Amino acid sequence: MSDIRVTLPDGKQLKASVGSTVMDVVKQIGPGLARAALAAKIDGQQVDLAHSLDKDAALEVLTFNNPEGREVYWHSTTHLMAQAIKDLFPETQLTIGPPINEGFYYDFDKPDPFTAEDMERIEARMTELARADLPISRREIHREEARNLFTEVGEKYKVEMIDDLGPDETISIYEQGDFVDLCRGPHLPSTGKIKAFKLLNIAGAYWRGDEKNQMLQRIYGVSYPQKKEIEAFLERRAEAERRDHRKLGQQLGLFMFHPFAPASPFFFPKGARLYNTLIDYVRGLYKEYGYEEVITPLIYEAGLWKISGHYDHFWDEMFHIDADDREYAPKAMNCPSHCLMYAANHHSYRDLPVRYADFARLHRHERSGVTAGLTRVRSFSQDDAHIFCRPDQIQDEIQNFMKMLKDTYTMLGFDDIDILLSTRPDHRAGTDEIWDRAEETLTNVLHELEIEYTVVPGEGAFYGPKVDYIVNDALKRPWQLGTCQLDFNMPEQFKLEYITESGKPARPAMIHRAMLGSLERFLGVYIEHCAGAFPTWLAPVQVIVIGISEHQTDYVNQIAEQLSQAGYRVETDVRNEKVGYKIREAETMKIPFMAVVGAREMESGGVSVRRHGQGDLGSMTVNEFIQSIEADVKQGMSTN
């Protein structure tokens, strides 16, 4: 039997016999890695540890320390849960069960709702199946055999998925004990690898996310190799619930939702102050970086969306209006309207770059099953801008945007950022030549700027490659906020031109960019990041002046007026309540500063100052208090 060579990530090579499994090779590396191994990648493709090797290959072992390894672990736990449910509730129909950011879910079609008692029984059965250490094996079968197999056991959703697969796609099933599921894999070698798990909650979900389809029951869960990791996860989850922006939004009086406008937030006065303060901050940056703000219509005839490509690539995600026997849509993005504005004027090479910024309200037809508080809404505004520039200006424009973004994220306390470069998707506008040019240009810019990034194949916008900024919040959860997209397609579609130095027409490049992204989504993320305790510069109420008794009402109003004249957002509390109650309520509302005044403060002409989360700062004159607030605002807006 001839030998093959297996190359490890560090370049080291091992010999193995043809027909050896991946696990045989892993055991050569060491017993510790063999115990930790969950699956592997052979020449970049994920495989089971039982996968046979028949030629030279590059090997990467996946453990729980690796993101892809964790996905395999969580995906295998969905099969364990599905097996337990089929054992306990045989009438249940299986659909899909993917891993998610931290944990997993599986969607089930069961006649009756799962109860809390059912969840306990399912966990108990999962424990039994894990302890049984059932081998998990992969089998590839023909389409008809797969269809007959799942038809015989009454799994109609699996049959539907098989019918949707292409004729050349490999159909694989995974078996553990008497349980079988349709799955691409890979999976753990046995159920015994799953050591600790917890089922978390049940939610409704439509089959394939379409409200016209059957409503399913989605069970969420998480699993880890050690029980202490589950406990740590549950602590993080409890903290996330305390920070939930939907609860804090209600508690702080920021926003609400109503069934008459699904997934479209209403901002109360305090929320509007927060929203507009963010916009004012961005407008200040626009002045510094040379952007010009424009105002554009909300509704457009379908012809615009056909030119831009959105009709072919995005129409299903837009709302539609029929009027005057014509087809219209409220805009879901600003870029086509900015192209119309650019095209309305003649441009010389000296005029570029042209930077249009737009805070227009946008609307997208997000399905009801995926909307979530402020982080996934149907009505929103972006700190959106489009830059039309010469090819030789692209690097400087992207560099300036990245500086603006980095300074802002640093100020906001987002210091853990990942950068992704997303390349051409399968369904896209434009020629391969245009895409080659755009991807090469954007890649070269990132290299010139020495930006570290990860390539995400196939996730670009339909019109061009993009750089996405993933911020990790205070709980280390990743959120995509900012984006920078390089587009050579839309200028081509709209026939945009500028006159070069030699007097000939040329196409400008178009850069789509947003720093915060959707302001609604940003606020949802940021509320949870800072647990609703906004920095003083951003807080909707920066100071509350509290009177100890009604005798200080006039003095309270006098202090409030001085603070307001100094430019701060102020409230007063002169209710007939105990001062301790008022202070506790101000703490609950997370107001940065409290100025408490009683007879002594009236006599001295000062205030007793408290800072949210820090307590008593002592007595100050009003001018000293104003200087203290000013210093806090400056510190909060510092990017150092």
Pairing of strands 3-7, 39-42: unpaired
Residue 147: per-residue pLDDT:
92
Q: Write down the pLDDT at residue 166.
A: 77
Judging by DSSP bridges, how do beta strands 543-547 and 570-573 pair with one another? parallel
Spell out the residues 6+ positions from residue 161 whose beta carbon is closer than 8 angstroms to its own: 96, 182
In 3D, which of 85, 161, 143 has the Cα closest to residue 118?
Answer: 85
Say which CATH class 3-62 falls into.
Answer: alpha beta
pLDDT at position 209: 81
Distances, alpha carbon 268 to alpha carbons 244, 521, 617, in Å: 18, 17, 31
Give the span between the Cα atoms of 173 and 149, in whole angstroms: 10
> Across-strand partners of 221?
104, 199
User: How many angstroms separate the CA atoms of 579 and 597, rounded?
Assistant: 10
Q: Where do the domains of the chain lie?
A: 3-62, 67-242, 263-295+333-529, 543-636
Q: CB 411: neighbour CB atoms within 10 A? A: 17
Class of the 263-295+333-529 domain?
A: alpha beta
Task: Give the closest residue to 376 by CA, choosing from 523, 492, 531.
Answer: 523
Give dist(CA 458, CA 147) in Å, integer. 30
For 551, what's the count of Cα atoms within 13 Å in the CB-facing half-sphere? 8
In this prediction, residue 169 carries a pLDDT of 77
Q: What is the structure's pLDDT at 167?
A: 77
Q: What is the pLDDT of residue 170?
A: 80
Cβ-Cβ contacts under 8 Å for 584 (sequence gap 6 or more): none
Place of tokens 């026939």: 495
In degrees and rounded to multiples of 5, residue 41 shows phi and psi of -120, 125
Q: For the domain covering 67-242, report its CATH number.
A: 3.30.980.10
**Strand pairing class (39-42; 57-62):** antiparallel
Provide the pLDDT for residue 430.
84
| C-alpha–C-alpha distance, residues 480 and 500, integer Å | 37
Q: Which two tokens stand for residue 585?
A: 């309520």
Looking at residue 1, its pLDDT comes to 52
pLDDT, one tens digit per residue, over 355-382 is 999 999 999 998 876 788 999 999 999 9
> 3-state DSSP call for residue 414?
coil
pLDDT less than 50: residues of the chain: none
> CATH assignment of 543-636, given 3.40.50.300, 3.40.50.800, 3.40.228.10, 3.90.550.10?
3.40.50.800
Q: What is the DSSP letter of 193?
A: G
Whether 219 and 198 have beta carbons less than 8 Å apart is answered as no
Q: At CA 341, angle to CA 280 and CA 354, rounded to 5?
A: 65
Pick the closest to residue 190 from 135, 129, 127 (CA basis): 135
Helix (H) or strand (E) holding 634: helix 622-636
CB 545 within 8 Å of CB 574:
no
Catalytic residue numbers, as ranges? 335, 364, 382, 384, 386, 466, 512
What's the whole-model pTM score? 0.83
Residue 562's nearest CA partner among 608, 614, 505, 621 is: 621
Question: Alpha-carbon distance 563 to 599, whole Å?
Answer: 20
pLDDT at 560: 96
Maximum Cα interatomic distance, the chain, rounded to a whole number of Å: 99
